């Protein structure tokens, strides 16, 4: 290895020489280390405007679906308890029929 940087590489990137190979390591979990420090690759998660719009719509639908599920469960619990004469939750009252008047 000559240590010369290829022309198409960025100016701040240098090639690894044979002497530098002793600085590279790997552990039993197949993680790469350089000078005893683990090598991490970080990339930001960036969404386009359209992807943000779709994510917003999906989030609203998920919230509305969860709210609808909660209301349905609450109603089912109310019906279940009312059928067993447990009035912790409000029970619907049946309209009282007017007594027939005698003429």
Q: What is the pTM of this model?
A: 0.48
Between CA 97 and CA 103 the distance in angstroms is 18
Query: Assign residue 96 a region: left if phi > 0, alpha if psi is -120 to 50, beta otherwise?
Result: beta
Q: Do residues 32 and 38 touch, judged by C-beta distance below 8 A?
A: yes
Between CA 36 and CA 41 the distance in angstroms is 16
Domain boundaries, the chain: 1-42, 44-88
| Structure-token pair, residue 45 | 């998660």
pLDDT tens sequence for the chain (103 residues):
455 778 888 888 878 888 888 888 989 998 899 988 999 888 888 999 999 999 999 999 999 999 999 999 998 988 888 888 887 777 766 666 566 666 6
Chain center to CA of 100: 62
């Amino acid at each position: 290895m000559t240590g010369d940087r290829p022309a198409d590489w960025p100016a701040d990137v240098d090639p690894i020489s044979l002497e530098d190979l002793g600085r590279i390591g790997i552990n039993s979990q197949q993680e790469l280390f350089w000078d005893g420090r683990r090598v991490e690759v970080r990339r930001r998660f960036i969404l386009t405007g359209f992807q943000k719009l779709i994510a917003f719509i999906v989030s609203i639908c998920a919230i509305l679906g969860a709210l609808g599920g909660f209301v349905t469960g609450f109603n089912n619990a109310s019906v279940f308890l009312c059928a067993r004469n447990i009035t912790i939750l409000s029970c619907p009252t049946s309209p009282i029929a007017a007594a027939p008047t005698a003429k």
